[in-house]
Chain A
Amino acid sequence: MRFPTPRAGAFAVVAVLLAVTVHAATSAAAYNSEEHKWIADLAMARVNQRSATLPGTMAFEDFPLARARYQNAKELAIGIRENGTAGYDSTEIDVQDNSYWTGYAQREGNFKFHIPDVAEMRSTRTLWVPAWDGTQDARFTFGELVALYGDYRRTVSCAPTNPSRCYLSQADSAAYRGIGGGRTKGRIFFEYGTDCFGFSCGYEPPDIPVRTYLAFIGSGLWPPYGTLGNAVSNTAWPEEWLDAGWWGDEMMRIANVNDWHWQQAAVAWYVGMHRMALKYALLARTDSRYWVQALHHEASALHSLTDLFAYGHVIVSRDRTSWEIMGDNSLRSTATYAWMENVIAMGGGNRDQGTGKVSVGATLPPLQTSDAPRQDMLESYQSGWGTISLTEHNYHDAYNAAGATVMNMKRQTFHIYGDYKMRGNNRLTQDIIEETVRASVQSLFDAYEANPPLDELVGNGSAAFDALLNIPVYVADNAGSYAGMWTSYAAAVNQLTGAGFAPDLACIIPLVDGRSAAPASRSSVCSTPSMMTDAAVVSELLHRDGSLGKGDQQGLDTQGNANGSYDAGDFLAWVRRTGATP
């Protein structure tokens, strides 16, 4: 346990000693919350709910104040409503970061918190999904849930007796341990901030509803966390989840062991969670309230899947380190961890019980689900793994900064980066990520409509996994460490989707984690994907004879009329694009 301690200069000495841990603890996310939210909400504008009846707390609706939500979040964080730092005043009261000041580091992130401009919003139609905030079913945009799950919440916990009630918080109420006293249910307080600097008081913001604070985090606000991460102390006691600082503590606790955001484990997590979401989508045919559970599971699934558009997460693995940290903290036998391990297993993941390495395969077990504990907080601290985590953090940062040109199983070639660069990606990359989210959520509504047998729906080759056709599986750079190499999960994706796009097994990206040496740069391209021939494109159109794999057909459709299947329109687009002649 890390005791809550006021952040102060007394920690200056240990700051030097533990600086290594600080950096490791900040390797939280591939994309920031506002980036996750932005791309996921954009995708919701194009989802067709088919004939599904949604429960009263859910709806596809226009959200005219969508941009104001980002602005309000940034205003609480640092007191300004626009991008950049112009106008920031460190003496302004009722501002989170002016209160959580001494020894806190979140301000840097909040300065960079990007509010999408009007052009970037593109659409304000979103999907509203409820989550219980302690007093009511509060409405979050689906994008906010995608941002929150994974970085601020490990499990998807829903009430066993109420399919429409899912939790983002540990309990309805909590009391402060040290400073005493219960607090009003459903509200977040800023008690661990500093209220007075000398005679100047009022810095602690007034308490706000849980639903508001979590929506702000999901919109990009960084909650308070220490400059040392949680290497030596937390802001709040573990049960004090109603303090804003607890959420920064929890972000750090999760970041220490977030292996399900990376590489093969991310694919397994996505597949496992998405299978569960599909199950609940079918259950919604008889009780529409199950849509809430379906969308909560889907949001968690998509956090990991969208992380795979950050190059650092494509290359680096944190399985072994996270496993060791969980072991050193005696957390492997907890209900939370067991639930999470089941998700990975349901996604075809297999964790080596000796090393902790997760390998994702193509064989999916019969789907098993269970109820996650609402109190899913785990005291997962770095213990002795800070140096290893730091190396992983550095690899993550370096790969994200460098980016790479990659290819997916639709043969789309595009460039990816990482943190803070979702907008820096070109429009093609943004569109591909958005399409990934859309296709995945759409598959829930398609399943509802078609009502196939569950085993078929969540089994190998199901069209419900087609979103995986969009993720990077091949490094198309001509130089660098992984030129012409396939991701470690490419073969599994090929088999899960039936893409018909087998990778060259002699050119798979090797394990890269904190215990790996930095890879040397290759002198040549390791392999090139098999070609899609003109004859195959024509033959598939005319004879439906399997001349093209599913990946190629979907790729032609994506670059054609995008109606979900390869047809005469896609063929016409291909002729025009390539200049092919009979």
Chain B
Amino acid sequence: MSRLALIGLALLAAGCSRDVSGNAAVTLRVVLTTPNSGQDGSTVLTLTGPDVPRSVAAIAGLQLWGGPVTSSSSTVALTGTLTSGTILTFETDARYADQFTATLREVANSDSTVALRDLAGYSVAVMP
């Protein structure tokens, strides 16, 4: 197997492809850490990066509000049962992969009180 083929396999393993401009595209995940896993019902977060993220999508079981994303700094909401782990995915150029950040704005309890959570203990991170 040639060296080029080996590189190609590695990129595929990392979730990369090439967009129409020929740049390598990568799929990134927004990962939530919550002290109330399974008991949160909605969240608002802001995704910021050097470029407009593409194909922004909620994972199965969650609903994404505020799409389609058209700005490099976009605020979206998610509803559904939120658990620790991936809640959102998007694509961007590989060169930007480590430049996206996510900021958690609000989280609400999923019970009938729909009370806002204290964000202590919560975090979101953008990961490959």
CA distance A541 to B77 in the complex (A): 8
Contact with B along A534-575 (1 / 0, CB 8 A): 000010011100000000000000001101000111111101
CA distance A581 to B113 in the complex (A): 21
Which B48-62 residues have C-beta < 8 A from chain A?
none
Chain A, residue nearest B106 (CB): A568
**Stretch in contact with the other chain, from B5-13, B14-22, B38-46:** B38-46
Tell yes or no: B127 within 8 A of A by CB: no
Chain B, residue nearest A539 (CB): B66
Contact partner, B114, options A543, A560, A581, A582, Cβ 8 Å: A560
Report chain B residues within 8 Å CB of A538: 65-66, 77
B115 adjacent to A563 (CB under 8 Å): yes
Q: How far is the CB of A18 from chain B (nearest CB, A)?
A: 58
A542 adjacent to B116 (CB under 8 Å): no
- Beyond A538-B77, A543-B75, A581-B63, is A572–B113 a contact (Cβ under 8 Å)? no
Report chain A residues within 8 Å CB of B107: 568
CB contacts between A and B, total, < 8 Å: 64
B76 adjacent to A572 (CB under 8 Å): no
Q: How far is the CB of B119 from chain A (nearest CB, A)?
A: 11
Q: How far is the CB of B2 from chain A (nearest CB, A)?
A: 45
Q: How far is the CB of B39 from chain A (nearest CB, A)?
A: 12
Which B69-112 residues have C-beta < 8 A from chain A?
75-77, 79, 105-110
Chain A, residue nearest B109 (CB): A569
Tell yes or no: B67 within 8 A of A by CB: yes
B77 adjacent to A569 (CB under 8 Å): no
B42 adjacent to A582 (CB under 8 Å): no
Tell yes or no: B64 within 8 A of A by CB: yes
CA distance A421 to B66 in the complex (A): 45
- Beyond A561-B114, A561-B116, A582-B67, is A569–B44 a contact (Cβ under 8 Å)? no
B65 adjacent to A568 (CB under 8 Å): no
Contact partner, A570, options B64, B65, B114, Cβ 8 Å: B114
Report chain B residues within 8 Å CB of A582: 63-65, 67
Chain B, residue nearest A543 (CB): B75
CA distance A563 to B116 in the complex (A): 9
Report chain B residues within 8 Å CB of A573: 114
- Beyond A542-B66, A572-B108, A582-B64, is A561–B41 a contact (Cβ under 8 Å)? no
Q: How far is the CB of A564 from chain B (nearest CB, A)?
A: 11
Which A427-452 residues have C-beta < 8 A from chain B?
none
Q: How large is the interface on A (under 10, 10 to 19, 20 to 34, 35 or more residues)?
A: 10 to 19
Report chain A residues within 8 Å CB of B108: 561, 567-569, 571-572
Report chain A residues within 8 Å CB of B43: 568
Number of interface residues of B (CB under 8 A): 23
Report chain A residues within 8 Å CB of B65: 538, 541-542, 571, 582
CA distance A569 to B106 in the complex (A): 9
B75 adjacent to A567 (CB under 8 Å): no
CA distance A571 to B64 in the complex (A): 13
Q: How far is the CB of A554 from chain B (nearest CB, A)?
A: 15
CA distance A567 to B43 in the complex (A): 9
B77 adjacent to A542 (CB under 8 Å): yes
A561 adjacent to B115 (CB under 8 Å): yes
B77 adjacent to A561 (CB under 8 Å): no
Report chain B residues within 8 Å CB of A567: 44, 106, 108, 116
Contact with B along A182-193 (1 / 0, CB 8 A): 000000000000
Report chain A residues within 8 Å CB of B66: 538, 542
CA distance A567 to B113 in the complex (A): 13
Contact partner, B76, options A542, A560, A563, A575, Cβ 8 Å: A542
Q: How far is the CB of A205 from chain B (nearest CB, A)?
A: 50
Report chain B residues within 8 Å CB of A568: 42-44, 77, 105-108, 116
Report chain A residues within 8 Å CB of B114: 560-561, 569-570, 572-573
Chain A, residue nearest B58 (CB): A582
CA distance A567 to B79 in the complex (A): 13
Q: How far is the CB of A233 from chain B (nearest CB, A)?
A: 59
B75 adjacent to A542 (CB under 8 Å): yes
Report chain B residues within 8 Å CB of A571: 42, 65, 77, 79, 108
Report chain B residues within 8 Å CB of A575: 42, 63, 79
CA distance A572 to B108 in the complex (A): 8
Report chain B residues within 8 Å CB of A541: 44, 65, 77
CA distance A571 to B42 in the complex (A): 8
Q: How far is the CB of A556 from chain B (nearest CB, A)?
A: 11
CA distance A563 to B118 in the complex (A): 13
Report chain A residues within 8 Å CB of B79: 571-572, 575
CA distance A381 to B112 in the complex (A): 55
Of A569, A573, A575, A581, most buried by chain B (CB within 10 Å of CB) is: A569
Contact partner, A572, options B41, B75, B105, Cβ 8 Å: B41
Report chain B residues within 8 Å CB of A563: 115-116
Report chain A residues within 8 Å CB of B44: 541-542, 567-568
CA distance A308 to B128 in the complex (A): 59
Q: How far is the CB of A139 from chain B (nearest CB, A)?
A: 35
CA distance A385 to B116 in the complex (A): 57
Which A450-483 residues have C-beta < 8 A from chain B?
none
CA distance A573 to B42 in the complex (A): 10
Report chain B residues within 8 Å CB of A569: 41-42, 106, 108-109, 113-116
Report chain B residues within 8 Å CB of A572: 41-42, 79, 108, 110, 114
Report chain A residues within 8 Å CB of B105: 568
Q: How far is the CB of A142 from chain B (nearest CB, A)?
A: 27
Report chain B residues within 8 Å CB of A542: 44, 65-66, 75-77
CA distance A542 to B70 in the complex (A): 14
Chain A, residue nearest B112 (CB): A573
Q: How far is the CB of A362 from chain B (nearest CB, A)?
A: 33
What are 22 inter-chain pairs, A to B, with CB distance below 8 A? A538-B77, A541-B44, A541-B65, A542-B75, A542-B77, A543-B75, A560-B114, A561-B113, A563-B115, A563-B116, A567-B108, A568-B42, A568-B44, A568-B105, A568-B107, A568-B108, A569-B108, A569-B109, A571-B108, A572-B79, A573-B114, A575-B79
Chain B residues proximal to chain A, CB less than 8 Å: 41-44, 63-67, 75-77, 79, 105-110, 113-116
- Leading 9 A-B pairs by shortest Cβ distance: A569-B108, A569-B114, A572-B42, A568-B106, A568-B108, A542-B75, A568-B42, A561-B114, A573-B114
Chain A residues proximal to chain B, CB less than 8 Å: 538, 541-543, 560-561, 563, 567-573, 575, 581-582
- If A560-B114, A581-B63 are given as contacts, then 8 extra A-B residue pairs at C-beta distance below 8 Å, sorted by A number, are A567-B108, A568-B43, A568-B107, A569-B42, A571-B42, A571-B65, A572-B108, A582-B67
